[in-house]
Amino acid sequence: MRKLLIFFTLLFAISAFAKEKHPYHVGSVEFKYNEKSKTFEVSAKFFLDDLENALNDKYGKEIRFNDKKFKEQINQLLKEYCGEYLKLKVNNQFIKLNYLGFEEDAESVDIYLESSPIENPKKVETAVSLMYNYFDDQMNIVHIIVNGVRKSSQLNYPNRYLFQEF
């Protein structure tokens, strides 16, 4: 799995220097359990142009990242988008994910969510299909971290389900 992390990091780094559109459609989603708050802190990272195109296509809108006039609209669209394409189930119970916001730079967008509180996560199931509405070659690298133990997997379209026990 370490090789996948290095590969993903290199893709983002290489894309910063590339003038053309990147040939890979890859994203990363991390579910990290916070023992203090008893919540999962969720972060997702995608190429900015890919996410922009996926949102514009899905909702029939013309939004642009890195343009302040679209920030409120982007927040609303990302909240809806994540609600549809990102799910969490812990100990056989669906857990609500609350959209917190996003950050962007010239190449990528980070999306942040937080779960409602859950005690003692042992069985963690995710459904991650972000970007699947736009790319049929999308690869999402998913990390689940509970009590300092990281389990990582690669999900390739159309596979969206991941199950881990801790």
Task: Give whole-number Cα distances, 122 to 22, 31, 94, 118, 155, in Å.
Answer: 38, 13, 14, 11, 21
Q: How confident is the model at residue 15 (pLDDT cuts 50, 70, 90)?
A: very low
- How many domains would you assign to the chain? 1
Q: What is the pLDDT of residues 37-48, one digit of tens each?
A: 999 999 999 999
Give the mean pLDDT of the chain.
91
Q: Please give the pLDDT value at position 1.
A: 54
In this prediction, residues 6-16 reach a mean pLDDT of 47
Return the beta strands (E) in 24-107 as ranges: 26-34, 39-47, 86-90, 93-95, 97-104
Task: Give whole-number Cα distances, 34 to 9, 23, 117, 133, 154, in Å.
Answer: 24, 35, 10, 30, 23
Q: pTM, whole model, 2 decimals?
A: 0.87
- The parent domain of residue 90 ranges over 2-165
